[in-house]
Amino acid sequence: KNEVEQSPQNLTAQEGEFITINCSYSVGISALHWLQQHPGGGIVSLFMLSSGKKKHGRLIATINIQEKHSSLHITASHPRDSAVYICAVGGGSQGNLIFGKGTKLSVKP
C-alpha cells in the first residue's frame, strides 16, 4: 500500500462543475502540499497546509490531521484547470516529501 493515496486517478468534468480530489496518507506529517502539474510538465505549488483550510481564488484545500485526509476542491471549474494534481506529505526527515501518483483532471468546455 502506498503511503500517499489519491483518488480518483482520472477525472473528467464539464466546465462549471465543482470538483473534489482526495488524498489519504498513512505516515505522520507536519505539512501537506498540493501541487499542479501542467500538460507541458511544469509544476506549481498550490497550497501547503498543516491544519484546517486554505483558499486561493477558486481553489480550496482542507486537511483533517486525525483522519489523515486532505481534499482539494475547485469551484466553477474551467478548461484551463486541466492538469495533474499531486498531493505530497512530509515523510519525517527535513527534505523527504512523499508524493501521491496524481489525479489527472480534464475539464471539457
Interface ranges with other proteins (CB under 8 A): 29-31, 33, 35, 41-45, 48, 86, 88, 90-91, 93-102
- What is the smallest separation between the CB atom of 56 and other proteins, expressed in angstroms? 12
Nearest-CA neighbor of 35 among 84, 70, 95, 106? Answer: 84
The string of DSSP codes covering 45-76 is EEEEESSEEEEETTEEEEEETTTTEEEEEESS
| Identity of the residue, 59 or 77, whose beta carbon is nearer to other proteins in the bound complex | 59
- What is the smallest separation between the CB atom of 23 and other proteins, expressed in angstroms? 12
| Identity of the residue, 46 or 77, whose beta carbon is nearer to other proteins in the bound complex | 46
| Identity of the residue, 71 or 99, whose beta carbon is nearer to other proteins in the bound complex | 99
The grid coordinates listed for 21 are 480530489
Nearest-CA neighbor of 77 among 104, 105, 53? Answer: 105
- What is the smallest separation between the CB atom of 82 and other proteins, expressed in angstroms? 18
